[in-house]
Amino acid sequence: MILVNQSVSLQDVDVKISVIKRLVYEHVINQVLSSNPVVSVAENILTSLSQEVKDAVQVFIGPLIVELKNRLSSFDITKATQNTNPFGILPVLRHILSKYEALITENSIRETHDEQSGSSQHTSTGIFSGAALKKEADETLFHYTQRRFYKCFNFAKQKIKSLEDFQNLPTNKGKMFLNGMYTDVYTSRVLFCRQYKPSLPVENVSLELEDFNVDEVKKHFRPCAVDPGRKDVFVSYHDNNDLRRLSSREYYAMGGTVRRQQKEQDRKRTSGIEQIEMHIPSPKTTSCLQYVSHLEYMFQHMDALFGFYGFEAARIKWLNYVASQRSIEEAVNILLNGSKKSHREMFQEGDPHKMPLIVFGDGLKNKSQVKYRGLRTDINEFKTSKTCNSCFSNDSENLKCGEGDSARRIHQVLKCKTCNIFWNRDVMASKNIFSIAQSIWTGNDRPTVFQGQTATLNVVASAHSGESTA
């Protein structure tokens, strides 16, 4: 396929994959591995093609076969000769790879060029036809990737006969694949699916605000409303003026990761590692010269690199990993219990006999990084960041800073024109979400001020998996 793409005259010809297979297995291999001079392609191999295309294939394939033959030292190539001289085939493999590398380079240049000129004529089909599959609207990224993998590779030998079989792999005993391709430049592994843990019954419950009443909420739950803040990780309101906030800055500083990364970067700079790493010649090449220059470079700087990536670097990597895991836990803890060391004096620990009940603004719905424990229900955010939570009027404006032409609107701060209160937008929104929830729990409808064309429903379907449906 690659070879056909490369030829100018054959570029637009749609040759069936079965024809190419026959060409390779019944002609190319025999011609390359035999000591006889190259002959033209037999009539019966290209039967489905027009005379014009047949001629083009002949002209195209002949010189390529000669190129490969010229790189073989001994003939004929059989299993026996391969046994005595296993490396004899290497120059051929290397030649194929370098052709392939040149093709990739050429294609990437052409694509950049096409982007610049705005032309969309060139469509790169690549080696894998399945890679061009379109993502379905309702398909998750994982299933899309899985479907593409299935299209690209032949799984028949693994006794996987359908996409369904493929998707069911994690449930089969002894069949363990993961999804993804990992490489550290020198090695790579491809893994195809992941294990699904059976979900707990409580995770499949989809509750809506109307399913609760005010007495039940009082007796069994610790309710809170969470606004999907733009600047903060969250702002939450827990009634009785209990307001909790975790800023992005606090979140990232929590485990010390930012501080450590900065220190590490400084260490790289001062020790000269940054410069060294910036100029490593790529090892991904079939050009001997280029690979040798990579090796020389690495040997030249080996002591410096080993000196830097020693126990200290490993220790920092580990600390960062632990910190990132802990930060998520900590963020949830602050939301549910208000219990971070520095916050402890401000908040009471939540009543452990009551279950957290979290009312989310629906803007948070598709954010998969939102982890939560306890029950969750989503609420339509309509007008929650525009309505004053004190007088419930819609008459608010952004705080302005400066005079005349140089005046700037401060997005984060709103002023209610009716009662002259200044609000932090996210605080106001979380309080409003709480007010809506309470109104519904007491048997009233969503307050009229929060109603509108787009908010005919109080509640939008809750996405308990946290998986994006957008």
- The answer to whether 319 touches 260, Cβ cutoff 8 Å, is yes
Residue type, 353: H
CB of 455 to Zn ion, least distance (A): 20
Q: Tell whether residue 15 is a contact of Zn ion (CB under 5 A).
A: no
Residues 281 and 295: their CA atoms lie apart, in Å, by 9
Q: Tell whether residue 420 is a contact of Zn ion (CB under 5 A).
A: no
Stretch of 139-147, 313-321, 374-382, 418-426 lying at the interface with Zn ion (CB under 5 A): 418-426
For residue 84 the two structure tokens come to 């005595």
CB of 268 to Zn ion, least distance (A): 53
CB of 439 to Zn ion, least distance (A): 17
For residue 228 the two structure tokens come to 């999907």
Q: Tell whether residue 3 is a contact of Zn ion (CB under 5 A).
A: no
Q: Which of 102, 288, 419, 461 binds Zn ion (CB under 5 A)?
A: 419
Residues 135 and 145: their CA atoms lie apart, in Å, by 9
CB of 387 to Zn ion, least distance (A): 9
Q: Which residue is it, tokens 């140089």? A: 406
Q: Which of 418, 442, 454, 469 binds Zn ion (CB under 5 A)?
A: 418
Nearer to Zn ion, 257 or 432 (CB): 432
Q: Tell whether residue 160 is a contact of Zn ion (CB under 5 A).
A: no
Nearer to Zn ion, 129 or 418 (CB): 418
- The answer to whether 360 touches 229, Cβ cutoff 8 Å, is no
Nearer to Zn ion, 11 or 418 (CB): 418
Nearer to Zn ion, 243 or 416 (CB): 416
Q: Tell whether residue 424 is a contact of Zn ion (CB under 5 A).
A: no
How many of the chain's residues bind Zn ion (CB under 5 A)? 6
Nearer to Zn ion, 340 or 417 (CB): 417
Q: Tell whether residue 417 is a contact of Zn ion (CB under 5 A).
A: no
Q: Tell whether residue 167 is a contact of Zn ion (CB under 5 A).
A: no
Nearer to Zn ion, 150 or 434 (CB): 434
Instruction: Give the DSSP letter string of 16-50.
Output: -HHHHHHHIIIIIHHHHHSSSPP-PPPGGGSTTS-
CB of 401 to Zn ion, least distance (A): 21
CB of 112 to Zn ion, least distance (A): 56
CB < 8 Å & 24+ apart, contacts of 148-153: 149/179, 149/192, 152/128
CB of 113 to Zn ion, least distance (A): 59
Nearer to Zn ion, 246 or 416 (CB): 416
Q: Tell whether residue 414 is a contact of Zn ion (CB under 5 A).
A: no
Q: Tell whether residue 449 is a contact of Zn ion (CB under 5 A).
A: no
Nearer to Zn ion, 302 or 419 (CB): 419
CB of 386 to Zn ion, least distance (A): 11
Residues 209 and 376: their CA atoms lie apart, in Å, by 10
Instruction: Give the DSSP letter string of 132-199.
Output: GPPPPTT--HHHHHHHHHHHHS--GGGT--SHHHHHTGGGSTT----SEEEE-SS-EEEE---PPPPP
CB of 370 to Zn ion, least distance (A): 30
Q: Which residues contact 406 (CB under 8 A, 6 or more apart)?
A: none
For residue 319, list its beta bridge partners: none
Stretch of 14-22, 151-159, 410-418, 433-441 lying at the interface with Zn ion (CB under 5 A): 410-418
- Sheet-wide strand order for 396-401: 396-401, 408-416, 422-424
Q: Tell whether residue 416 is a contact of Zn ion (CB under 5 A).
A: yes
Per 3-state DSSP, the chain is made up of helix, strand and coil in percentages (nearest 5) of 50, 10, 40
For residue 182, list its beta bridge partners: 189
CB of 404 to Zn ion, least distance (A): 27
Residues 229 and 225: their CA atoms lie apart, in Å, by 12
Indicate the DSSP class of residue 353. T
Site string for Zn ion, 370-409 (x = CB under 5 A): ------------------x-xx------------------
Residue type, 378: D
Contact residues for Zn ion, defined by CB under 5 A: 388, 390-391, 416, 418-419
